[in-house]
Amino acid sequence: MVRLIALIILLIPGILAGYGIKLMRDMLFGILLSPFPYLWLQFFAGLLFFIIGLGFIAGFILHRDRKRNKVQKRFKKQ
């Protein structure tokens, strides 16, 4: 059950990052989606979604590896 909850916790930011990539790709092809009035705003929203999603997943993996002592010395907490 704990692994299922961890999967769900990682799935939501993964979907958010994927949607961010889609927003940025659509901006490059000139496709404006409905909640955004400008293409540049759509691009920055996509970039923000991508950075938040990727950062959460990276932080989760770093936290898990720190608990298992599988990181290099520079990533260990003092």
Domain residue ranges in the chain: 2-75
18: enclosing H helix or E strand: helix 2-28
Closest CA to 9 of 50, 53, 51: 53
Read off the pLDDT of residues 50-75 as tens digits, 9 standing for 90 and up: 999 999 999 999 999 999 999 999 98
Per-chain mean pLDDT for the chain: 94
Other C-beta atoms lying within 10 Å of the C-beta of residue 31: 12
Quickly state the pLDDT bin for 39 (edges 50, 70, 90): very high
* Cα–Cα distance, 35 to 56 (Å, whole number): 25
Q: For residues 57 and 14, is the Cβ–Cβ distance under 8 A? A: yes
